Chain A
Amino acid sequence: MKFSPLVQELIDSLKCLPGVGAKSAQRMAFHLLERNRNGGIKLSKTLNLAMENVGHCQKCRNFTEQEVCDICQSTKRQLLQTLCIVEGPADVIAIEQTGEFQGLYFVLMGHLSPIDGIGPDDLGLDILSEQLATGNFKEIILATNPTVEGEATAHFIANLAQQYQVDISRIAHGVPVGSELEYVDGNTLSHALSGRKTYQL
């Protein structure tokens, strides 16, 4: 049996989502058609708007429908003169939720990975250089992931930033809160030991 062309097209379109195969796409399509028309209409409108209007912030490369995103526009944040460099938009949210950091961000949208063909040109490092050249920043925090590729990216950016008068720091490696030392992998533990801090009383 075949579905009518429009239903089939809906199912095929849903398959472009990550982790969604033929069966899941079919289930989603039927659910929207049968049980949640309003949700489906809202989804289609928002999807259309977002796909047409959302671009990258000119300063930090994060997703935004404005030319410069809200975080970059905030004068309070600009005053801190600190730039936190992260791999993806999800990292920005994660750091924002801690409330620890009040400065600006720069989103690389990936990390250096030669085998996947991602080189320095794909990470918007030219925009980063422009940002640093303005002299608006006193410190950059390298908050790329603690993977080998993230480390390489951090090193590459640190090299790039050396020519501008900025302090360069790297987020610490450590043991996660609530975990048990015996289950922590050796690499993390050795980083945690070598990067230990003096105990403040």
Chain B
Amino acid sequence: MDVIEQSAFVLHSRPYREHQQIVDLLTEHNGKVSAVVYTGKTNKSNKKGLLQPFSPLNVVLKGRSSLKNLSRIEASQKSYTLKGDHLYSGFYMNELLVRLLGELIACPSLFHHYQLSLIALTNQHSIEPILRKFELDLLDELGLSLDFSPIFEYEADSFYYIAEQGFVPSIDELKLPKYNRQHLQAIAQQDLSLDTVLRCNKLLMRQVLNILLGGKPLNSRKLFTKN
């Protein structure tokens, strides 16, 4: 692995030994990387302030094994200050990335989309369209893009989404959520202006992601439902 400086975001960090942390990073050129970083015990060498989520960093990674060493770390810009539900949405994106993304697979476009989503969240834009867009980008990156073509080919009022098959016209009664054809068409065309479409998109994504997550619930969702 070349020693280069690149942009990165901290997704998650956990303490390791006395003065170290293991951080999960989303980097521009190496994708998701786990790295050990010495956080220091004196005030001057303390890097914990830098190692916060949603803070754009410049990092240099070293090491040949999959667990890298974080040899240099600097803030590249002011960190994105998210508040309330927007902050919880940030956690939601991080949790998705930590759980679904494979390690050390370059994903520059996803990195770019992640940063754009954070900017949109910082600017207090409406949350749902941002998250739906991000989920689609993540699915693209995982090579599991939704194939919307059956919706335009088949003349059915509603469709099911079945794992590994995609959209199937609802002819037989199945114990699965049904999606309205017009709503799906709007989603395919990225037109999320209607509330009903957003709702349909949310249910669809929840079903698709639940399959990928192996049925284990996302913890960050709990933050939203309580309030």
A interface list, Cβ under 8 A from B: 19, 112, 114-121, 147-148, 151-152, 155-156, 159-160, 176, 179, 183, 185-188, 190
Interface residues of B in 19-71 (CB under 8 A from A): 43-44, 48-50, 52-55
- Closest CB of chain B to A130's CB: distance in Å? 16
Whether the Cβ atoms of B87 and A155 lie closer than 8 Å is yes
How far is it, in angstroms, between the C-alpha of A111 and the C-alpha of B52 when the chains are bound?
14
How far is it, in angstroms, between the C-alpha of A114 and the C-alpha of B223 when the chains are bound?
8
Does B227 make an interface contact (CB < 8 A)? yes
Q: Identify which of B44, B78, B79 contacts A183 (C-beta below 8 A).
A: B44
Q: Identify which of B11, B75, B91, B220 contacts A185 (C-beta below 8 A).
A: B75
Whether the Cβ atoms of B227 and A156 lie closer than 8 Å is yes
Whether the Cβ atoms of A114 and B91 lie closer than 8 Å is yes
- Closest CB of chain B to A163's CB: distance in Å? 10
Extra 9 A-B pairs, beta carbons < 8 Å, given A147-B52, A152-B87: A115-B98, A119-B219, A119-B223, A120-B226, A148-B52, A155-B84, A155-B87, A185-B50, A186-B78
Tally the A-B contacts, defined by beta carbons under 8 Å: 70
Does B202 make an interface contact (CB < 8 A)? no
Whether the Cβ atoms of B50 and A114 lie closer than 8 Å is no
- Would A190 and B44 be within 8 Å (CB), given that A114-B95, A120-B223, A159-B227 are in contact? no
Whether the Cβ atoms of B219 and A117 lie closer than 8 Å is yes
Whether the Cβ atoms of B83 and A155 lie closer than 8 Å is yes
**Which residues of A lie under 8 Å from residue B50 when comparing CB positions?**
185
Whether the Cβ atoms of A115 and B87 lie closer than 8 Å is no
Counting chain B CB atoms within 10 Å of each CB, the highest count among A115, A179, A185, A186 belongs to A115
How far is it, in angstroms, between the C-alpha of A118 and the C-alpha of B223 when the chains are bound?
10
**Closest chain A residue to B99, Cβ basis:** A115
Whether the Cβ atoms of A116 and B87 lie closer than 8 Å is no
**Closest chain A residue to B216, Cβ basis:** A117
Interface residues of B in 207-221 (CB under 8 A from A): 218-220
**Closest chain A residue to B17, Cβ basis:** A19
- Would A115 and B219 be within 8 Å (CB), given that A147-B52, A152-B88 are in contact? yes
Q: Which 4 A-B pairs have the closest CB atoms?
A: A114-B220, A114-B219, A185-B49, A119-B222
- Closest CB of chain A to B23's CB: distance in Å? 12
Whether the Cβ atoms of A160 and B227 lie closer than 8 Å is yes
B interface list, Cβ under 8 A from A: 11-12, 14, 17-18, 43-44, 48-50, 52-55, 75, 78-79, 83-84, 87-88, 91-92, 94-95, 98, 218-220, 222-223, 226-227
Whether the Cβ atoms of B95 and A112 lie closer than 8 Å is no
- Closest CB of chain A to B127's CB: distance in Å? 15
**Which residues of B lie under 8 Å from residue A190 when comparing CB positions?**
78
How far is it, in angstroms, between the C-alpha of A183 and the C-alpha of B45 when the chains are bound?
9
**Closest chain A residue to B44, Cβ basis:** A183
**Which residues of A lie under 8 Å from residue B83 when comparing CB positions?**
155
**Which residues of B lie under 8 Å from residue A116 when comparing CB positions?**
12, 14
**Which residues of B lie under 8 Å from residue A185 when comparing CB positions?**
49-50, 75
Whether the Cβ atoms of A187 and B55 lie closer than 8 Å is yes
Q: Identify which of B18, B44, B75, B223 contacts A152 (C-beta below 8 A).
A: B223
**Which residues of A lie under 8 Å from residue B54 when comparing CB positions?**
148
How far is it, in angstroms, between the C-alpha of A115 and the C-alpha of B97 when the chains are bound?
10
**Closest chain A residue to B98, Cβ basis:** A115
**Which residues of A lie under 8 Å from residue B52 when comparing CB positions?**
147-148, 187
Q: List 28 A-B contacts (CB under 8 A).
A: A114-B91, A114-B94, A114-B95, A114-B220, A116-B14, A119-B222, A119-B223, A120-B222, A120-B226, A147-B48, A148-B53, A151-B87, A152-B87, A152-B88, A152-B223, A156-B223, A159-B84, A160-B227, A176-B43, A179-B43, A185-B49, A185-B75, A186-B75, A186-B79, A187-B52, A187-B55, A188-B49, A190-B78
